[in-house]
Amino acid sequence: MRLLVAGLGAAAALTLPLWLQSPYHVHVVIMAGIFTILACSLNLLLGYAGQLSLGHAAFFGIGAYTSALLTLRLQWPFLAGLVAAAAASGLAGWGIGRLAFKVRGAYFVLVTISFAGVISLVSVNWMELTNGPLGLPGVPAAELFGVSFRTKSAYYYLVLAGAALAVLVCRRLVRSRTGRAFLALRENEPLAESVGIDAVHYLAVAAVTSAALAGMAGSLYAHYTRLVSPEVFLFTYTVTMVIMVVAGGKGTLAGPVVGAVLFTALPEALREVVAWQWQMVLYGVVLILLVFFLPRGIVPAVGAALRARMAPRAGEPRLEPGARSPLP
């Protein structure tokens, strides 16, 4: 059953450009792919390590600018730009992690917001480097081993590979000793420390991996739009990522993917069926309904429903509270 779904999904993903007639639809799908990487990246921190980064657009933007500047000014090849973008964002993530995880929770949120604000200001004001609000036009098209990804449908496959890599990285990490350390810190930090899990180290690992993935997404975005401007640092991007992770199901592997595809496609689908004034209103309504009825997210809810259907008894909560053990 799982394999069948996965196989159908893979087949659909691989043949998608053939089904979509309009370049506009391909564009939406490419953006969904880029947001899949971003949502997976945020999910590592928010869903697994339990720390909310509200500055994730900064890592996305650093990746976009790094890749754009290196390929544009220094004529680096695309792949080198992509790797450098992930490295630069990862480095920023390490710095932020080291600084912010000395104080966790709400303070981490504040530090990430401020960091994004500062980086955004730098991008607007450091004219010599970033060309200020005008941005950097003419970012070279992506080219890998002599193959050009200039067309939308070709670029789609590049983004698909990037998204697959992001999902693979998250999958391997969360099912390992490292991923269990993330979960332990989310669940109960003093207990995690008591069995030898170094909180600062593992939160830094989570921050670096998460930031590096966001940087990769930034690079893919830069070489797709071919223009990088300070709008990559917009707070809206961060909010969109948070919505995708939370609505899809934080702390699950499939959640951010489902959330990213759904919440990239939804505004566009709504645009086609209702007048533009109502588009964002409906988007808001859908979001509120989701949070209200599926507070843990779409993927956990669907998973629970499937389990309940396949094994009605097993799905029921265990009905033997501590008969032997009255609370003190």
Partner 1 sequence: MTLAVRDLAVRFGGVEALGGVTFEVRPDTITSLIGPNGAGKTTAFNAITGYLRPTRGTVSWDGQAIAGLRPSQIAARGVVRTFQKTSVFPSLAVLDNVLIGLHLRGRAGWASVLLGRGWVRREERALAAEAEALIEFVGLAARRRDVAGALPYGEQRLVELAVALAARPRILLLDEPAAGMTAPEKEAVSRLIRKIREQGVTVFVVEHDMRLVMGISDTVIVLNGGRVIAEGPPSRVQADPEVVRAYLGSTGGAPRGPAPGRC
Residues at the site binding partner 1, with contacts judged by CB under 8 A: 169, 172-173, 176-178, 180-181, 183-184, 187-188, 190-199, 205, 209, 317-318, 321-328
d(CA 212, CA 13): 24
d(CA 85, CA 216): 6
Cα–Cα distances (Å) from 197 to 76, 103, 190, 194, in that order, read 40, 17, 9, 7
In the complex, minimum distance from the CB of residue 219 to partner 1, in angstroms, rounded to a whole number: 19
In the complex, minimum distance from the CB of residue 30 to partner 1, in angstroms, rounded to a whole number: 26
Residue 94 near residue 155, CB atoms below 8 Å:
no
Which residues fall within 8 angstroms of residue 3, CB to CB, at 6 or more apart? none
In the complex, minimum distance from the CB of residue 44 to partner 1, in angstroms, rounded to a whole number: 11
Residue 89 near residue 66, CB atoms below 8 Å:
yes
In the complex, minimum distance from the CB of residue 88 to partner 1, in angstroms, rounded to a whole number: 19
In the complex, minimum distance from the CB of residue 265 to partner 1, in angstroms, rounded to a whole number: 30
50 versus 140: smaller Cβ distance to partner 1? 50
Helix segments in the chain, DSSP class H: 2-19, 23-43, 56-73, 78-100, 106-125, 127-130, 152-174, 177-187, 189-194, 199-225, 235-248, 254-273, 276-293, 298-310, 312-315
d(CA 254, CA 239): 19
Q: What does the block give as tokens for 314?
A: 């097993």
109 versus 199: smaller Cβ distance to partner 1? 199
In the complex, minimum distance from the CB of residue 322 to partner 1, in angstroms, rounded to a whole number: 3
146 versus 317: smaller Cβ distance to partner 1? 317
